[in-house]
Structure 1
C-alpha cells in the first residue's frame, strides 16, 4: 500500500470525515464480542492539537457522567500513561456495577491520534487476554481503513469483514468453522476448504466446506490433516506450487495432496493466539486459477483474528464440557463408586 502523500496529510488534517467509518466499525466490534457494555472512540479534533472529542459511541447515548470518566481514560491513553485503571464502577443501564476497562491507542500516519475504550463484564485473566487480542486486531483493521480512505478505498476488504463477522458470532465453534469454509470456498472459487485445530501435537479436522458431516477416519481427511501439520510444523503459510515471493518451505505433503486432486493449487495458513498454535486452514482450487498475492494477504489477515476468536471459543467449550463431566461423576459416585469412573 502506498503511503498517503504529505500534500494530503498535514498538521491540520481534520478527522471529521472519519465519523461514518468509525461509527460502523465500533458497532460491528461491540456487537461481535459478547459482554461489551459500552464502546467509545475518542479522536483529536485534528493533528495540530490535543483536544479530544468523542467521535462515536455504542450504544449511541452515553450518560454525561460516564462520558467524563471515559474522556479521562482516553486522555491518559493519548499521554502514554502506564497506570490506567483496569476497572471502572459506573451505571451502564443496570445500576452501579464494576466493569473491566480495555483501552487502546489509535494511530494514524504514525501518530497517536485517539483512543478506543471498551467497558465489559468482568472476565477471567485468560479470557481478558484472548478478548484483548480481538480488540487489537479490530483496531488494526480500523487504522488500516482510516489510511485507506485517503487512497479512495472507503470500506474494509469484504472478505476480511465477512470472515470476522462469522468468527465472532455466538455459535458452536464447529458450525462457525463450517460457515467460514463455505464462505472462503464461495468467495475464492475453491474446490474445497478445510479448517483444522490442534489437539495435542496433531491436527484434527473441525470443518469442511459444503459438508457438515464427515468421517474423520477417511484417508482423504488424514491426507489434508498432514498438509496442515506440515505448515504448522514450519510455522508459516505455504503456497503450492511455490511462489517466489513466499519463504522457502518443505512442501512434500502439499505436493502429494495436489497430485491427488488434479494438480490443484493449495494455500495453507496456520493461525494462533498470542502464545500457541491453534490450527490451520487449507484451501484447494484448480491449478489454472492460482491464488493471487492480494488473496493470500486477505486470508492471512483474517486468520489472525480467527486464532484469537477460536482460542476463546474452544476454551469455553472445553470448560463447559469438563464441567458436565465433573457434574456427571459427582452424581454417579454414590452408585458406581469413585474407582470405576
Structure 2
C-alpha cells in the first residue's frame, strides 16, 4: 500500500531543494518507523494520526477520538502536539458521531475547513477523526475524506488486535479455571478439596504459597496452605494471613500488594503488614452473591501480580466458589445449618421487600400453636373383615356317597332348598330287608301265641321290635339323605361339584351357611393400640367394595391375640348399626374406633414416642 507524497512544510520551503527533500524524506521515515515500532495503543494512535496529517496538505490540527467506556469518547491522540487546543473541533466531532458519516464543514468562503470521519467496526461506532485543513476545492476535500477512509483501516486493525488479544486472554483464563474446577470436583470432602486446590494453584501460577480460607460467621478462618499438611492455627503468621483475608472479604473485592493498578486496587493495609517484602494477592470466592472464602497467593521474589494474573485468579474463584459452598454445606453439622437458616430467616423478616415471608411465618406460627393446643378425635385404625353373625356348618349325616351338589360357595339359598343329596339306593335295599325280617318275626310271634308258647312268643316279639327299630333308622337316614338349607342365607364355603360319587364320612363338613341379615365385624387391632380399645366404643367402617358409604358399629368384645403377617393382633368383635345393607361375608375394609380426644401433636407423634421409649428400654442397661 503506497501513500501520496507528503507536501513540504513551511520551514522546509526555505531550504535548498536537495536539502529540503532529504529532510522531508527523513521526517517521513521517522514517522513510519515510529508507527511500525509502536508498542502501546497510545503510541500507535499518536503515530497513526501524525501520518494521516502528513498525508493531507496544509493540515493545521488533528484529533482522534476513541470510545473509552459505553457512550463516552475521549481524545486518544492530538496533532501536532498533546498541548494543542482542539476544543473548537468538538462540535464537528459530536455531529460526526451522531450522524455516523463523513462531514465537510466550512464557516464561510476563504476560512479553514473541518473534515470529520467516523470509525466503525462491525456496525459499532468506535470513534472519529477530525482534521482542520486549509480551504480548498470540493474535489480536494473529497480526496481528504478518501485518505481518511483508507487510513481508518489501520485503527480497525488495532481494534481487531485488541479484541483478539482479549479473547485469547479470556480463553486462557477460562481454561485455567476449568482445570482447577476439575481438580476440585474430584474430591468429595472439604479438607481434601482445599488441599488439592491450593497445591494445584501454587504450581500452576508459580506461587511460593497459596492459602484457602473460609468465611465463619463473618471472619475468615484458614483451611489449607499449599504443600503444608499441618499449621499452627494460633500462630502469628496465621493470624496475619486471616487478617488479610478478612480485608478482602470486607471489601468484597480482590486486593493485591503491591497494587497492580492504583485505580483498581482496594485498601491493602493488612496485606502490606502481612506481605512485608513479599507480594500477596487475595481474591474472594462468591456463591449466590455471598463471599464464602478467600484465596491468597504469595510470592517471595517481590514480583508484583499483574492485572492479567489477578483476572485469572478471579475467573478461578468464580467457578470454585459454588463448589466450595456446596462442600461447606455438607461439612456443617445440623446445628450449624440451623443457625444459618435462622440467620437467613431473621434477615428476611427484617426485609421490608418480603411481606409474603412475614405472612407465611405468622401462619406457620399459628398452625404450630394450633397443633399443640387444639384437640381432635383420636381414632384407632385397624383392618376389618365382615363375617356372618351366625355361621351354620352343614355336615354329612352318615357315611355314604355323594349323589348331587347343586350349590357351592357364594350361592344365596332359601330355607328348605336342597344343598346336596347322598346316594340312597343301599338304604332302600336295607329298608326292604328289614321290612321282610319284621314280617317274618311277626308271623312267628302269632304262631307262638296260637300254640301258647309264651317263651317263643317273647323272643319273636323282641326280634320284631328290633326289626322295627332298624327300619325306623333306615327311614330316618333316607329322610336326611337330602341335605337342605335350615334358613335363608348365603353359602360361605364349600364346593362339592367336583366330588360327585365320592365317599363321605359321617360328620364331614360340607358347607358353611351364614344368614343375609345378621353380620358382625372383626377388627384386627395391633397390640400397640389395644390398650385404648374396650367394649362399648363406637366407630366407623369403610369397606373396599362400598367406599362411598361409612358404616357405624359398636365394639362388642375384645378377644385373644393371634399372630398374623408377622404382627401380633387382637380380634375385636363389633356389631353393625344397620343390617339392611348389601353386604357379603368376607368383605374387607378399614375400621376406625373412636377412643377420645387428644391434641393433634400427640395424635401424630404418639407412635413415634412409644417406639423411642421401647428402643430406649431395649438398649439402655
TM-score by length of 2: 0.27
Bigger Cα Rg:
2
> Greater relative contact order (Cα 8 A, min sep 6): structure 1 or 2?
1
Which structure has greater strand proportion? Answer: 2
TM-score by length of 1: 0.47
